[in-house]
């Protein structure tokens, strides 16, 4: 493989991690690093994501919360029955949430949907938690097992990155919604056609910042 054929994969997680920490994120586990409260095990967040992703295609939240599959998966994820109840306590409060109803009634539902897109000398990469199709169009969903106070510019950037990747695949694309599972607050992020040139310019700047952080880490 020559240098001309090699293209580096860039994800929003790698860019955000480089910006915050000054080093390149390990892409082997890219897009699985989630926002969770620091006093809880990452396994709880993983369990919460599995539950939210299981909804749709005729399956409701109550059904998933008390399914045998949920109990059977606890050993694989590394949590116990007490942990499962902790997750259930949070998510059961969301059963009447409009966004949960939207997921349950979705015409189509796709989980962990991977997208790549060429961007100059790079390949942009994203793994979307969930994409649903409603009567109005498609919506990207991203789950955060945290409270809405944890919202940051990094979350908005992640959603706009996903919208940029998905805009030519899902039409009409209504937006990307962040869903903070511990307090039920959701936040809609948009990226209209008129905003694409500015986002591409901003993305260029963020990738340059990412590369500088990587070089500093090598020195």
* Tokens describing residue 54: 């299981």
> For position 58, what pLDDT does the model report?
82
**Tens digits of residue pLDDT in 124-165:** 999 999 999 999 999 999 999 999 999 999 999 999 999 999
> For position 146, what pLDDT does the model report?
93
| Fold entry, domain 8-22+34-218 | Lambda Exonuclease; Chain A (3.90.320)
Using alpha carbons, list the distances in angstroms from residue 119 to 116, 124, 126, 177, 199. Answer: 10, 6, 13, 24, 12
> For position 24, what pLDDT does the model report?
32
Specify which residues 177 forms β-bridges with.
141, 188
User: Which residues, 6+ apart, have CB-to-CB distance to 128 below 8 Å?
Assistant: 110, 112, 113, 114, 115, 140, 141, 142, 162, 166
Domain ranges of the chain: 8-22+34-218
Digit-by-digit pLDDT tens for the chain (219 residues) are: 344 556 799 999 989 887 654 433 333 334 434 443 344 458 888 889 989 988 888 889 989 888 766 655 655 566 677 888 888 999 999 999 999 999 999 999 999 999 999 999 999 999 999 999 999 999 999 999 999 999 999 999 999 999 999 999 999 999 999 999 999 999 999 999 999 999 999 999 999 988 887 666 555
* Tokens describing residue 109: 């539902």
CA 150 to CA 154: how far, in whole Å? 10
């Amino acid at each position: 493989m020559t240098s001309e054929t090699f293209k580096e994969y860039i994800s929003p997680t790698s860019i955000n991690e480089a910006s915050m920490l000054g080093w390149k994120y390990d892409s082997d586990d890219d897009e699985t690093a989630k926002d969770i409260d620091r006093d809880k095990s990452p396994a709880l967040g993983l369990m919460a994501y599995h539950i939210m992703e299981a909804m749709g295609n005729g399956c409701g939240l109550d059904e998933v919360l008390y399914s045998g599959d949920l109990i059977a998966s606890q050993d694989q994820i590394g949590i116990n029955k007490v942990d499962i109840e902790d997750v259930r306590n949070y998510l059961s409060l969301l059963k009447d949430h409009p966004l949960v109803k939207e997921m349950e009634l979705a015409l189509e539902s796709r989980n962990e949907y991977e997208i790549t897109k060429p961007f100059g000398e790079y390949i942009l990469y994203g793994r979307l938690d969930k994409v649903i199709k409603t009567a109005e169009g498609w919506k990207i969903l991203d789950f955060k097992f945290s409270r809405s106070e944890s919202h940051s510019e990094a979350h908005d950037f992640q959603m706009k990155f996903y919208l940029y990747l998905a805009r030519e695949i899902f039409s009409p694309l209504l937006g990307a919604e962040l869903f903070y599972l511990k307090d039920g607050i959701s936040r809609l992020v948009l990226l209209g056609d008129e905003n694409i040139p500015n986002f591409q310019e901003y993305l260029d700047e963020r990738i340059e910042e990412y590369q500088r952080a990587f070089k500093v880490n090598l020195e």
